[in-house]
Amino acid sequence: MLLLISLYGITAYGDEPVRKTKSGIIIIGRGKNVRAIDPFSGKEEVGEKYAEAINRYKEEFGDSIRIYSMPIPIAAAFYCPEGAKEWTKDVRAAIDNIFNHLSDSIVKVKLFDILSTHTDEPIYSRTDHHWAPLGAYYAAMEFAKVAEVPFADLSTYDTDTVHNYVGTMYKFSKDIAIKNAPEEFVYYIPRDVEYNTVSIRYQVGKNNTILKETPSTDNRFFYEYEDGNNQAYLTFMHGDLNTTTVKTSTKNGRRLLILKDSFGNALPGYLFHSFEEIHVVDCRYFNKNIVKYAKDNHVTDILFANNMSHIHNIATSNAYIKYLTQ
């Protein structure tokens, strides 16, 4: 029988302690395998607003562009122990609520089941609030399946590793156990495909207001970080403060626009074998009209790829609606 002891916010499952920090972060386990997770607190009505925003895109583009919705679970969906679930809402129920409010013409990319079969693999970082690149791989594979495009197996990729990585959760939790349990940040670089990356870089002020944009062509999608660097997740496109276009040697006429938050940064690198072009737009930093942008770039597919915390921030839905008319 599983023994559960609760004292001063600390819960023990056998030898595995679970506690909540003053900032609300849930700390699971101890030693080198300790994990920090952010509880989910999204409200149903905000998730429904997000679905309404996606429906607006389908109304705008009609049958000319395929629209996909990929709500990305956060780590709490898979790693929160049963006895600590009072500290977080049900992520799967919130995803189902979004899907229930989407138009039938929106293609639903369902990640929960595929990710849940790989939770014994490092698909989410222990020390960072993002998923790990391996989790994004399984998500990209599921998306490619429903989009009916080619997809390259992970065995065809080169692997690179940033050792002794401690991500954002030490900053968020201020918990020394996280600092003392670094992990490996492993990412994958595609082979046997050519790609050219062009980015518009933004300088932003208060409330994410874009003050300046600087076009650049640097032929880089992947940025290298030294061991121990806590910014390793910026490997992909150097982060969020840009609009990025990747042109690949895959000539199939399919051009993808990804509307995303930082979780979505890890997705495009797995789709160079799948799409002729990939355009990446952040849900916070974009100052053009998205309808004109999609038409000018002959976009055939639009993927909404947001994590469940960002989805349940009303600013995300408001930004996407604004992009249609700004």
The string over 57-86, giving b where at least 16 C-beta atoms fall within 10 Å of a residue's C-beta and e elsewhere, is: bbeebeeebbbbbbbbbbbbbbbbbeebee
* 275-310: pLDDT as tens digits: 999 999 999 999 999 999 999 999 999 999 999 999
Domain of residue 241 covers 40-325
pLDDT tier at 11 (50, 70, 90 boundaries)? very low
The number of folded domains in the chain is 1
pLDDT of residue 9: 45
Contact between residue 118 and residue 138 where contact means Cβ atoms under 8 Å apart: yes
User: Does residue 51 fall inside a structural domain?
Assistant: yes
Residue 244 lies in a domain: yes
pLDDT in tens, 154-204: 999 999 999 999 999 999 999 999 999 999 999 999 999 999 999 999 998
In a domain? residue 18? no
For residue 28, the cross-strand partners are 18, 35
Q: Look at residue 11 and tell me if it is in a domain.
A: no
CA dist., res. 173 & res. 183, Å (int): 17
Cα atoms found within 13 Å of the Cα of residue 317, Cβ hemisphere only: 19
Residue 237, domain member (yes or no): yes
